[in-house]
Each structure stands twice: as C-alpha cells, then as structure tokens.
Amino acid sequence: MLITIDKVLTKEQVLQFREQLDAAPWQDGAATAGTLARSAKRNLQLDDESALCTQLGQQILRILAQTPRFISAALPRAIYPPKFNRYTDGGTYGAHVDSSLMFLPGSHQQIRTDLSATLFLAEPDDYDGGELEVEGPFGVQEIKLEAGDMVLYPSTSLHRVTPVTRGARVASFFWIESLVPDEGERSLLFDLDQTVQQLTPSMAPDDPRLVQLTGIYHNLVRRWART
C-alpha cells in the first residue's frame, strides 16, 4: 500500500527548512549505505548527529503526531529519527530494499522497518529527474510530489531514485515500525478508518451503524496489534 499525505509541511515551513538546509554542510551519502547499496548510492546527506538534523527531525515528528492520515496509515509504534538528503549533478540511488532492522541512534533498541517515508522539500519544477520509483504488485509507481507532501510505502518494496539532471532534489526520509506489522491487515484498517472518518460528519455520534463500525475497527486493532 502506497499512501501520499498532502501538506505535512506548509509552504512557509518548507521555506524555513530550506533556508537552513541550503546553508548547511552536506556529506557523501555513500558513507551511510550498507555494503550492497553503497555502489548504487550517489547523493549527499546532512550529518545525522548535527544539531540541525535533530532540530528539524523533531519538528517533523511533532507535526506527524498531529496528522490523522499519517497515524491512520502507519499506526506507528516507533519512528527512526528523520534524516535529510540532497540529489544534484546526476545524483541517484539505484534499486535497493531498505534494511529490515535498525538501531535507534544512541540506544541498543532495534526497530523493524515496516514503512518507509519520503517528505519532499523541493518543488517538482525545481529539478529534473529525481523521481522515487517504487515497485509493487501492480508494477512501478513513480512519485514526485509538491514540497511539503509525503509518501509512505512498504519498506519491503524495491525502490530507486532516478538521476537528477537539473537543480536539486532535497528531502527528508525515515522509517516506521507499525503496531500492525502485516501490510494487508494495516491496509484494511486504514480503509476502514478512512470510511469511518468520511461518514462521521454526516451521522449522529450515537448512530448505531457508526458505533458498530468504530467498534469493529478497534476490535481488529486489538486483534492485530503487536505492542
């Protein structure tokens, strides 16, 4: 299941992020890639341990905690702190699958990567190329979103970033461990929750049909969640 979330950041917030990121020092992204991915990865990354990375990452997490569509789609148990990357001058990332387990920075706690997220911080007209291509059961999906918009997709997916031939593609990326590990179950819960949310404005809060649907949702979460 691939889900886009519009306007995670406002245009003003994107501008604030970019003013700081464009003035920051960037490092070779290959240094953080796994053994197999290193040869396929040609981009730049912000130092994960920098104060700026921490500050902007925490701001993103605070916003996501108040974003209903994100909570509904991801049902997050743990989130790897957001990172930031930059593609320019032919920068690309060949086909790869994200690592299945990751240690949270500064701890011995591992998280399972169920979902991968990319939050776009450059307008699509500002660069050529740089599409995120995600392979799924219905073929390859190509994603290039407005600045401030985000995409969630299964971390099990083979995916790539096509070469950037003009301008710069800037984004934040991170991973989520979900309370519901199974993608099919999580997808059903998302569809059901979205249906409940769509019906709620047009129905009385005590309408038996709405109460029953809400109960079914929570009982399924209770059955499938792994805490």
Going by the annotation, the residues of the binding site are: 96, 98, 159, 169
Q: How far apart are the first and last CA of the chain?
A: 22
Encoded tokens for 225: 């969640």
**Annotated binding residues for Fe cation:** 96, 98, 159
What DSSP assignment string belongs to 173-186? EEEEEESS--HHHH
- Other CB atoms within a 10 A radius of the CB of residue 32 amount to 14
Q: Residues within the annotated binding site for 2-oxoglutarate? A: 169
DSSP-derived secondary structure for 144-203: -PPTT-EEEEETTS-EEE--EEEEEEEEEEEEEEESS--HHHHHHHHHHHHHHHHHGGGS
Q: And the tokens for 157?
A: 């997916």
Are 97 and 104 in contact by the 8 Å Cβ rule? The answer is no
Backbone angles phi, psi at 89, to 5 degrees: 55, 50
Report DSSP state, residue 8: S
Q: Directed axis angle between helix 183-199 and helix 208-224, to 10°? A: 160
